[in-house]
Amino acid sequence: MALENAIQAPDFDLPNQFGERVRLSDFRGVKPVALVFFPLAFSSTCTKELCTLRDNLAMFQDHRVELMVVSVDSKATLRAFAEEKGYDFTLLADFWPHGEVSKEYGVFLENKGFATRTTFLIDVDGVIREHFGTEPGQERSLADYRAALDLLVPVTV
């Protein structure tokens, strides 16, 4: 069961696609985070979904929200995936211990060995303000991202 809104998001320390360590706590007091769990790199639905995020990255930038995506793939796999698809956002490897962060967020599927498609919008104080997901094989809606981002941080002109 995915974590609920209005609770402190569990901190984590994961390598990104370049092997650099990324901690959620580094963003506290700095900027909100969109934490996007997805099953596996290079799978058709995941690729299409992340390409949609790539093509709409300005939506996150306009809200000053850091986009980070997480899968159980290795950092080497995520780097190849990012390079091939032109992803200009952080990909995090929840590889070892296998799925540990996905488990903390309640989105790991033990019988499959990977996370569900679930997104958490975390405010500048590290509190989960919104989350949403889909059934296996279904993409998350861009409209759901827009609505969640607007709730988290309204765009100021």
Q: For residues 120 and 5, give the distance between their C-alpha atoms in angstroms, rounded to a whole number.
A: 9
CA distances from 155 to 3, 22, 115 (A): 26, 26, 30
State the amino acid at position 124 in one-letter form: V
The active-site residue, picked from 14, 46, 50, 72, is 46
Bridge-based pairing of strands 108-109 and 114-115 is antiparallel
Nearest to 102 by CA among 111, 114, 92: 114
HSE (CB half, 13 Å, CA atoms) of 57? 13
Respond yes or no: is residue 51 known to be catalytic: no
CA dihedral (17, 68, 125, 135) in degrees, to 10, reads -130
Instruction: Show which residues are catalytic.
Output: 46
